[in-house]
Structure 1
Amino acid sequence: MNKTWVDALAKTRGARGEVMAKVSSVAHALSSHVPLFIALPFIGIISCLWLAGCAVGPDFRKPAAPDIGDYTAHPLATTASSANVAGGEAQRFNKGSDIPADWWTLFHSRPLNALIKQSLASNPDLKAAQAALSVARENTLAGRGAYYPSVSAGFSATRQQDPPGALAPVPSNNAFLYNLFTPQVSVSYAPDVFGLNRRTVESLKAQEQAVRYQMIAAQITLSANVVAAAVQRASLQAQIDATRRLIEINTHMLQILRYQMAKGYVGRLEVAAQESQLAQVTATLPALVKQLDQQSHLLAVLAGQFPSQASAEKFELADLQLPQELPLSLPSQLVAQRPDVLQAEANMHAASAQVGIATANRLPNIQLTANAGSTALAIGQVFKSGTGFWSLGADLTAPIFQGGALLHQQRAAKAAYVEAAEQYRSTVLTAFQNVADTLTALEQDAEGLKAAAAAANAAKVTLDLSQRQWKDGYASYLSLLSAEQADQQTQIALVQAQANRYADTAALFQALGGGWWHRAELDQADSIRNKDEK
């Protein structure tokens, strides 16, 4: 009988068109084994299962992509170029092009590639995000258990003595002292009449996706941070080298002025001015060294190491190649690529499912139970004929008065959905702002590098002329040192302009989504998600 009942119940969860046909078979099975007054409630309950295909609450719909054609008011095609300068190549924006998964390899730096590989494998924050995804995935799988009946088995053994003065002993052999052995199996099942279980699992799946996109964002951010830190470290090292040369030049100039003052050629004012200049240049060096060490420590921590284990390998801007072809995703594609936008969409989906959960909690709930077992006075008689028992039960509970708690919980869920929808819109606007800011930065970086290169070239010409004039006796050595000082200052500005182009190029790849959809492990997980949703 139990097998027939379970099989019939399982079939009712299939196509709703077959439910009523199955009800008759279940009714026949029940009426042939149990009294009619017990069978009728089960027949009525099972006949209601055709509602199981419906779920209260709103069905989530993916937000439409913004109807926007460009990221900036003035679309960009190509940036300015600077000839004979590292990182001065013109960059072209290929609208609609795809982004590679390992976009950092476009800089053609083996040390950088190795550092990012190590960071993706060892960074503790990324590992924590991956563990959080495992937690969310297991919670989703645990929530799916509500779809199935709950089965439990038990065994009890007791020794009992009834009072001698009792009117009738419990056992049939009239014994006052006896043992009782009872094995039994219990089955309970809550038909998902109003979709409470389905909305709960839907919410858990959406939360899992939100955590997944958060993990993907952590990967992209980590890669971009490593590139930015490596570029900044290379820039700082070049600035430190130029600053030290400036200190040497100013020290030499001060020595000459002091000699000239001792001979009476210059006054104390000129010497004091040079002393002040040397002190100002020297004061900039500790700050640059501090920043350089901090970037080294940052790179070590991003790679999952302690600061004392920082790599001694130096990064130089000359070893990096500026990507000249930059993919620029269409605005309609950005919302489907940016992990933070997809995370906000998943949060919105979870909030939508919570509305269905709050609605279903206000509706009746059905609980079906079945127990079967055997009880005997001796362990060897447990499974003999005549010792079995069984019971069927059905509970219907409906909230009538909860002090308004369920109503306000439903309203709160609806308000939370509105909140999630507005947060999604804010995230989309921020994503477009990031791309627009980065495109503008790349355009101005190219112009800034062009101006810095022109200044460096002019300072170099001045230095060459000063060297010739000094050799021919037409200029003083102080004039030569001044030209060398101006040259080093323009070199510092040039290095900073070069670093800006490299760093903002990496920022563009991050702003466009980082090409995570080309990663095999993430793409496979996304395919599984789409299959489950269908």
Structure 2
Amino acid sequence: MSKSLLSLAITAAVLSGCSLIPDYQQPEAPVAAQYPQGPAYSPAEAANQAAAEQGWRQFFHDPALQQLIQTALVNNRDLRVAALNIDAYAAQYQIQRADLFPAISANGSGSRQRVPARASGTGESTITSQYSATLGISSYELDLFGRVRSLSEQALQTYFSSEEARRSTQISLVASVANAYMTWQADKELLKLTQETLGAYEESYRLTARSNEVGVASALDLSQSRTSVENARVQLARYTRAVAQDENSLTLLLGTAIPANLPGAQPLSADLLSELPAGLPSELLQRRPDILAAEHNLKAANANIGAARAAFFPSISLTANAGTLSPDVGGLFKGGSGTWSFAPQINIPIFNAGSLRASLDYSKIQKDINVAQYEKSIQTAFQEVSDGLAARQTYNQQLQAQRDFVNANQDYYRLAERRYRIGVDSNLTFLDAQRQLFSAQQALITDRLSQLTSEVNLYKALGGGWNEQTAKNEPVPEQAPKLRLF
């Protein structure tokens, strides 16, 4: 009995060697071999280490930000869902792969039946008994043309795609927490600047009011000075609201409250980020998880073509069992009680109104769609990195020019105030100097935030944010769960 089942399983394995999955060919990357060059870009430099290998603890220097990122990696719900999706797709793969093997089950049953005299042929009531014990295979498909293996390959590639999606989610989370934190710090600096500016405006208003009382300043001067105070109060309310909303956004990303023991934040003007090597566009194909996920989806679509092709060919299913049968329990395992059954079934498609052809066409179209999506993911990555490289060079120039502009406005403000107080210039010139200085200081903070945000986005675009430590410092990336086949 057991030998016959073993022989059947071996025969099935031998016959299941055919696959109709098309040979996979990786599409050519539809981007240039080098990143753009020009006035907006700094000269290309050789990279000793890929940006994706630089751990986020080395890239972000602010200890407070490092603690927030660590908190988010533990508590963020989107990341938790992405990790659970990996487990879900792993389970689906295991379910699909199980169809490659016969499902062997044991069964025992017993029955007793009384037949009344009027219903029996002998005119007497009878009692019949029957007991059985069997070991069998139920509806096992011989995978002669690789249909089941194609579906198994599709499930496996979907699982791999979910792993890359989890990596992409983590990288996006690290960048999102960093950008939210820096926005929070920028708004706090803008709030502090506004509070200091409001104090200066109020002091200037008091001085103008005294001058108006003794007839030195006109009512128009006093009214103009008051407009600066009220405008600063508007800005104060705006940035107070922004700081509160920034905290709420950061709390959502963390998945928990902002830690009370957070280290003191470094100012935006500090050295908050490491320098990033850009490398070559070809490196994105191996390091960007969204590109890798798109390629796994493409391979899954390619495997589906094999399953659609196999549907054109006959399929054979086997049902077999062997065991013992006896009218009494005591004789169930005695000699001469053996029984067996073998019921092969073959299904040959003859006419289906074009359904199989349409299914094959659909699977090919789906593959073409996935090719386009894969190519688009490469183009998007190339564009994001190119934008980041352009931002790096131009923001350096813009920030230096903005610092010089702030210094010039500070000189203008000091001179205008002195000349107004001694009566050389009108109040209008002094108020103009006040407004320009405040605006220039706000723009400097905003430009610094934009520069930092662009560097973080470049780090994300290059595939960074997956490792906690750089490779030379013993990386400790989270490992994707391994598949359990049985």
Aligned to 2:340: 390
Q: CA deviation at 1:332?
A: 0.8
CA distance in 2, matches of 1:408, 1:351: 15
Is 2:208–2:217's contact at 8 Å kept on the other side of the alignment? yes
Report the aligned-residue RMSD: 3.2
CA distance in 2, matches of 1:470, 1:269: 14
Q: Which amino acid aligns with 2:246?
A: Q
State the shift of 1:176 in Å: 2.4
Q: Tell me which of 206, 224, 249 is aligned to 1:273.
A: 224
Q: Residues 413-428 of structure 1 correspond to what in structure 2 (within 5 A)? A: 413-428=363-378
Deviation at 1:316, TM superposition (A): 3.6
2:61 corresponds to 1:108: yes
Residue aligning to 1:330: 280
Q: Following the alignment from structure 2 to structure 1, what is the Cα–Cα distance between the partners of residues 122 and 353?
A: 49
The Cα of 1:506 is off from its aligned counterpart by 0.9
Looking at structure 2, the residues matched to 480 and 347 of structure 1 have their Cα atoms a distance apart, in angstroms, of: 64
Partner of 1:370: 320
Cα deviation digits, residues 95-141 of structure 1 (max 9, x gap): 47312342353332111111111111111110111001110011112
Say which of 148, 159, 167 aligns to 1:197. Answer: 148
Task: Report if aligned partners of 1:249, 1:481 keep a CA contact under 8 Å in 2.
Answer: no
> How much has 1:296 moved relative to structure 2?
1.0
3-state SS of 1:97 partner: coil
2:90 to 137, 141, 154: 137
Match for residue 63 of structure 1? 27
Query: Aligned in 2, Cα 1:449/1:199: closer, same or farther, shift over 3 Å?
Result: same
- Work out whether residues 96 and 328 of structure 1, in 8 Å CA contact, stay in contact via their aligned partners in 2: no
Q: How does 1:295-310 map to 2 (within 5 A)?
A: 295-306=246-257
Tell me the CA shift for residue 224 of structure 1.
Answer: 0.4
> Kindly tell me: are residues 302 and 426 of structure 1, through their superposed partners in 2, closer, same or farther at Cα, counting changes over 3 Å?
same
Say which is worse superposed, 284-293 or 209-218, in terms of deviation: 284-293
Matched, 1:512 2:462: yes
Q: Which has the higher mean CA deviation after the structures are superposed, 265-274 or 219-228?
A: 265-274
Report what 1:400 is aligned to. 350
Aligned partner of 1:223 in structure 2 is: 174
| Contact residue 226 and residue 302 of structure 1 kept, 8 A | yes
Q: CA deviation at 1:325?
A: 2.8
Deviations 1:178-206, CA, capped at 9 Å, x for gaps: 22111111114322110011100110011
Cα gap change, 1:67 to 1:98, in 2 (>3 Å): same
Find the aligned partners of 1:317 and 1:366 in 2 and give their Cα distance. 71
Aligned partner of 1:257 in structure 2 is: 208
Distance (Å, rounded) in 1 between the aligned partners of 2:73 and 2:173:
8
Pick from 146, 152, 155 the counterpart of residue 108 of structure 2: 155
CA contact (8 A) 1:105 1:113 kept: no
Deviations 1:186-242 (A, max 9, x none): 114322110011100110011111111111111000000111111111111111111
Contact preservation (8 Å) 1:368, 1:394: yes
Task: Give the match's secondary structure for 2:334.
Answer: coil
Partner of 2:240: 289
Cα distance in 2 between the residues matched to 1:61 and 1:516: 28
- 2:49 counterpart residue number: 97
Residues 74-98 of structure 1 show CA distances to partners (whole Å, capped at 9, x for unaligned) of 287649xxxxxxxxxxxx8544731
TM-score (norm 1): 0.80
Q: Aligned AA for 2:49?
A: S
Separation in 1, partners of 2:39, 2:353: 58
Where does structure 2 lack aligned partners over 5 or more consecutive residues?
A: none
3-state DSSP of counterpart to 2:287:
coil
Displacement of 1:493: 2.0
Q: Following TM superposition, by how much is the alpha carbon of 1:449 offset from its aligned partner in structure 2, in angstroms?
A: 0.5
Partner of 1:74: 38
Distance 1:451 1:319, change over 3 A: closer
CA apart distance, 1:271? 2.4
Q: Is the 8 Å Cα contact of residues 68 and 332 (structure 1) preserved in structure 2?
A: no
Q: Deviations over 1:243-282 (max 9, x none)?
A: 1112122222222223333333333322222222322222
Residue 67 and residue 466 in structure 1: after superposition, are their counterparts in 2 closer, same or farther (change >3 A)?
Answer: closer
Greater relative contact order (CA < 8 Å, ≥ 6 in sequence): 2
Q: What's the secondary structure of 2:163's corresponding residue?
A: helix
Check 1:451–1:306 CA distance in 2 against 1; reply closer, same or farther (3 A cut).
same
Tell me how many residue pairs correspond in the alignment: 474
Distance 1:69 1:178 in 2: 83
> 1:104 touches 1:227 (CA, 8 Å); kept in 2?
no
Inter-CA distance 331–96: structure 2 relative to 1 (3 Å threshold):
farther
In structure 2, the CA distance between the partners of 1:167 and 1:417, relative to structure 1 (3 Å rule), is same
Correspondence for 1:44: none
2: distance between equivalents of 1:204 and 1:60? 16
> For each residue in 1:436-483, what CA deviation from the matched residue of structure 2 results, as whole angstroms up to 9, or x when unmatched?
111112222112211111012223444566788899x69789788876
Query: Which one is further off, 254-263 or 316-325?
Result: 316-325
Structure 1 portions without partners, runs of 5+:
15-48, 80-91
- Specify the code of the residue in structure 1 equivalent to 2:286: A
SS in 2 for 1:147: coil
Secondary structure at the aligned position of 1:249 is classed as helix
CA distance in 1, matches of 2:451, 2:408: 22
Contact 2:40–2:394 (Cα < 8 Å) also in 1: no
Alpha carbons of structure 1 residues 321 and 93: separation in structure 2 relative to 1, 3 Å: farther
Q: What is the distance in 2 between the residues matched to 1:429 and 1:475?
A: 61
The verdict on how the C-alpha distance between 1:514 and 1:106 changes in structure 2, with shifts beyond 3 A counting, is closer
Within 2, Cα distance between the matches of 1:469 and 1:94? Answer: 55
Contact 1:370 1:390 in 2 (8 A): yes
1:344–1:423 Cα contact (<8 Å) kept: yes
Counterpart AA for 2:10 = A
Aligned-partner SS, 1:13: helix
Per-residue deviation, 1:432: 0.9
2:135 to 165, 173, 185: 185
> Sequence identity, in percent?
26
CA contact (8 A) 2:21 2:305 kept: yes
Q: Is the contact between residue 233 and residue 296 of structure 1 (CA under 8 Å) also seen in structure 2?
A: yes
Match of 2:77 in 1: 124
Aligned AA (1:268): A
Counterparts of 1:322 and 1:306, CA distance in 2: 23
Letter in 2 for 1:160: Q
Match of 1:346 in 2: 296
Match for residue 359 of structure 1 among 277, 286, 309? 309
Aligned residue identity for 2:28: A
Secondary structure at the counterpart of residue 282 of structure 1: helix
CA distance in 1, matches of 2:277, 2:298: 29
* TM-score normalised to structure 2 length: 0.87
